Chains A and B, each alone.
Chain A
Amino acid sequence: MNMKKIRRSLFSRTTLRAIVSITVFLILWEAGSRSKEWAGFTMPWIGLVPPPTSVLAVWWDLLGDTGYWQSWYLSLMRVLSGFVAAMVIGIPLGLLMAVSRTFNSITFPSFEILRPIPPLAWVPVAIIFWPTEELSIAFVTFLGAFFTVVINVLGGARSIDMRFYQSAQAMGSSQWDIFKRIVLPATVPSIVVGSSVGMGITWNVVVAAEMISGGGGGGGSGGGLGFFIWNSYVGGSYEQIVIGMISIGIAGYACSELLRGIGGFFTPWLRTR
């Protein structure tokens, strides 16, 4: 039964068309990149990008290279440290702002003033302030996820139906009960959304931070994927740039999917919809 379903979706028209579309895309890319060889002239833009076949060839060689996997590991660690810090600080802060009107009035305007500054603009200040480059990259990554998480928690708490509070109060709930039974469950879905969006931003930021600050302490071959891309650019290995881009894409996508899965576990009531 289940196998049948899988087989049906595997050979459905949608899958077929997806395969066709991606194949056409790859062929066009290949043809465009090799335009110099078969058409005698370099196509604008795409002609300067390495073709997918040579990217694959270089990637195959890289798979055995520890430096490459070291970059994965370093970037992932930075993302995780920044992200976890953002969750640990951001979620309680968002909840506190949602629960206490006074606290909200004090902090929210200041928060809104800092929020429009793009996280990357903090890079130089972070480098000046934190003693190691590792910490400054983690700090910028933290900022990237932090604002999104707080705003999402706050938005989730604000969209709670007034009547829930009123009926809970009418039935004699204490403040703590209201928080535990209404505010917390109601904000979990937006915490999940906020964290998966924040994860996306975190990967964005980590790449840029690594490029700008020059790779952290790892040195030559081990400075994270962003540094891997930048180093490949400086070294003129254009295939490796594309490999780096795809690797970050895969890593970011996997992290977001993982978070969504974890989120689904915490919000079982949303699964049936």
Chain B
Amino acid sequence: MEQVERLLKRTLPFQVVSPETLDGIAEISRHEVFKAGQVIYGAGQPAEEVYVLVSGRVAHRIDPDIKARVHEKELQVGDVFGWAAILEGEKVRLADVACIEAAEVLKIDGARLLELLRKDVNFGEAALKSFSQLISQQYYLPPSVSERVPTTLSKVGDTRTPASNEAEPQTASAWTLTMYRASAWLKSPDPYLMMVGFALMLGFWYLTVEVLKLPRFEDLPGLTTVVKEWFAEDPVYGMSIYTAEYYQHIWVSIRRVAIAFLLATVLGVPLGLFLGWSRSFREYVFPVFELLRPIPILAWVPLAIIMFSGSETPVIFLTFLASFFATALNTMLGVESIDESYTRAAACLGANRWQVFKEVIVPGSMPYVFTGLQISVGVAWFSLVAGEMVSGQYGLGYVINTSYTMVRYPTIIIGMVTLGIVGYTTSAMVRVAGNYMMQWRLREMALGGR
């Protein structure tokens, strides 16, 4: 029994199933021995059982009428065959299988196997998926066959087993995974400790400012005042989620950051690529870049006001400047991070300088570019606030500063929290976009075993 389980564990589809399912499968498998030259089954016969080869050599010849890329195959120990027994639709053998030398096999009843996999809520799905992978990758059969494996558990319904129908039919595996993760997270102490943390923070604010009225603290706007003001239809200090003004300020800030960020990306990424790519270009340009970089962005404020007319352009310029340095520098580091053997290999294969740039430098530096863009959004908000506080009309930084001078203290906090939310959202957007576009790299790292 244990031996059977160990053997099953070595096969592709049953590697993943849970121990209970494995027990069940081992229970329903029967051991059988065939002599050399004996036919195990022939094409066209009814298919009832799935086979696992335990020892010996077996020839597998797929019916020539079925379009497979390779028709003949010698099976190895641990190979699974006879999977026609779990396909949907007509369960008919698709191949002739005969022993080249004496062979031992495990026979597993197809209908009962499906029933077992169906009960395995967590892993049955994956086992069925690897069945269809097996069919297309090891038996070289077209998708028309591999798709007949009941990939979702609900389709297994046609085996009509009365047992255990309580489990809801699962329709989407991504959804299942999300729900599984959510329930695992809820079972861990994390969410409750997080609540404790929030409660402590807000409680500290509420107690010190509004209940105990400690010296210094009592000057600050209290928790309840801020929340009331924020969600009031008729706010005392003129700004809440019901006033158009609130959204106007948010919109103006977002617009400024967006313009500056796009401009910085459009100019900074090419500059960084060239800085990393061409040595002489870097030696001529980088010193000036390094000369200007240590100057804090905010020290540019008065100069920006002098250089650019109006109140809008200086703020955008400051925001742009911060993003630009971050983007260009990270792109340059990205180019430098590329292993030199790639450029050499490309050159050996006859790529010219432009081709090396296009095929090696640009894609190779992308992970760093996205890191740079994440930093760039962060510093954009940082300098936007400073720019808006010092000069400019509208915008969240402006709200915070004017609310201070006009003694509308709760509005200051509303502005700060809104700024945090909006800033976090934009950073998250850049991060998600970056992760999505950098999937190839993650996959590469996973394949490399890192």
**A residues at B contact (CB < 8 Å):** 13-14, 17-18, 20-22, 25, 45-46, 48-49, 102, 105-110, 113-125, 127-131, 200, 203-205, 207-208, 211-212, 225-226, 229-230, 232-233, 238, 241-242, 244-246, 248-250, 252-253, 256
A249 CA / B296 CA spacing, docked (Å):
7
Cβ–Cβ contact B303 & A203, under 8 A = no
Q: Which residues of B contact A232 (CB under 8 A)?
A: 302
A105 CA / B427 CA spacing, docked (Å):
22
A229 CA / B201 CA spacing, docked (Å):
38
Cβ–Cβ contact A21 & B288, under 8 A = yes
Cβ–Cβ contact B285 & A253, under 8 A = no
Cβ–Cβ contact B198 & A109, under 8 A = yes
A169 CA / B288 CA spacing, docked (Å):
52
**Shortest beta-carbon contacts, A-B, top 9:** A124-B404, A233-B302, A105-B193, A249-B295, A17-B283, A18-B287, A253-B294, A204-B296, A116-B424
- A to B CB contacts below 8 Å, 6 in the list: A105-B194, A109-B197, A117-B420, A124-B404, A249-B294, A249-B295
* Smallest beta-carbon distance B317→chain A, Å: 9
Say if the beta carbon of B400 comes within 8 Å of chain A: yes
Per-position 1/0 for B202-227, Cβ under 8 A of A: 00000000000000110110000000
- Report the nearest A residue to B299, measured CB to CB: A245
Say if the beta carbon of B100 comes within 8 Å of chain A: no
Per-position 1/0 for B277-293, Cβ under 8 A of A: 00010011111100100
Q: Which of B200, B400, B401, B409 has the most CB of A within 10 A?
A: B400
A21 CA / B280 CA spacing, docked (Å):
11
Which positions 289-336 of chain B face chain A at CB distance < 8 Å?
291, 294-303, 305-308
Segment touching A, from B28-36, B41-49, B378-386: B378-386
> Assuming A49-B306, A109-B198, is B284 touching A125 (CB within 8 A)?
no
Q: Which of A116, A212, A248 has the most CB of B within 10 A?
A: A116
A244 CA / B153 CA spacing, docked (Å):
70
Cβ–Cβ contact A226 & B423, under 8 A = no
* Smallest beta-carbon distance B303→chain A, Å: 6
Cβ–Cβ contact A22 & B201, under 8 A = no
Q: Which residues of A contact B421 (CB under 8 A)?
A: 116
Cβ–Cβ contact B284 & A117, under 8 A = no
Cβ–Cβ contact B412 & A125, under 8 A = yes
A180 CA / B236 CA spacing, docked (Å):
55
Q: Which residues of A contact B384 (CB under 8 A)?
A: 118
Cβ–Cβ contact B297 & A204, under 8 A = yes
Q: Which residues of A contact B382 (CB under 8 A)?
A: 118-120, 204
Which positions 391-450 of chain B face chain A at CB distance < 8 Å?
396-397, 400-401, 403-404, 409, 412-413, 415-417, 419-421, 423-424, 427
Cβ–Cβ contact B295 & A248, under 8 A = yes
Cβ–Cβ contact B305 & A125, under 8 A = no
Cβ–Cβ contact A120 & B397, under 8 A = yes
A212 CA / B387 CA spacing, docked (Å):
10
> Assuming A14-B283, A17-B283, A207-B299, is B390 touching A212 (CB within 8 A)?
yes
Secondary structure of the A contact surface, majority rule: helix
A268 CA / B70 CA spacing, docked (Å):
60
**B residues at A contact (CB < 8 Å):** 189-190, 193-194, 196-198, 200-201, 216-217, 219-220, 280, 283-288, 291, 294-303, 305-308, 381-382, 384-386, 389-390, 396-397, 400-401, 403-404, 409, 412-413, 415-417, 419-421, 423-424, 427
Q: A22-B291, A117-B417, A121-B416 are in contact. List 6 more A-B contacts (CB 8 A).
A: A20-B284, A110-B197, A114-B420, A116-B420, A123-B389, A211-B298
Cβ–Cβ contact B303 & A49, under 8 A = yes
Q: Which of A102, A105, A119 has the most CB of B within 10 A?
A: A105
Q: Which residues of B contact A125 (CB under 8 A)?
A: 220, 412-413, 416
Taking a contact as CB atoms closer than 8 A, the residue among A48, A106, A208 that contacts B197 in the complex is A106
Q: Which residues of A contact B190 (CB under 8 A)?
A: 105
Q: Which residues of A contact B423 (CB under 8 A)?
A: 116-118
Cβ–Cβ contact A207 & B296, under 8 A = yes
* Smallest beta-carbon distance B20→chain A, Å: 29
Cβ–Cβ contact A248 & B219, under 8 A = no
* Smallest beta-carbon distance A106→chain B, Å: 4
Cβ–Cβ contact A248 & B296, under 8 A = yes
A238 CA / B416 CA spacing, docked (Å):
33
> Assuming A105-B194, A106-B200, A117-B417, is B295 touching A245 (CB within 8 A)?
yes
> Assuming A17-B283, A105-B189, A114-B420, is B299 touching A124 (CB within 8 A)?
no
Q: Which residues of A contact B303 (CB under 8 A)?
A: 49, 241-242, 245
Cβ–Cβ contact B295 & A246, under 8 A = yes
Taking a contact as CB atoms closer than 8 A, the residue among A49, A116, A127, A230 that contacts B404 in the complex is A127
* Smallest beta-carbon distance B33→chain A, Å: 46
Q: Which residues of A contact B287 (CB under 8 A)?
A: 17-18, 21-22
Cβ–Cβ contact A129 & B299, under 8 A = no
Cβ–Cβ contact B283 & A13, under 8 A = yes
Q: Which residues of A contact B284 (CB under 8 A)?
A: 17, 20-21
A114 CA / B419 CA spacing, docked (Å):
10
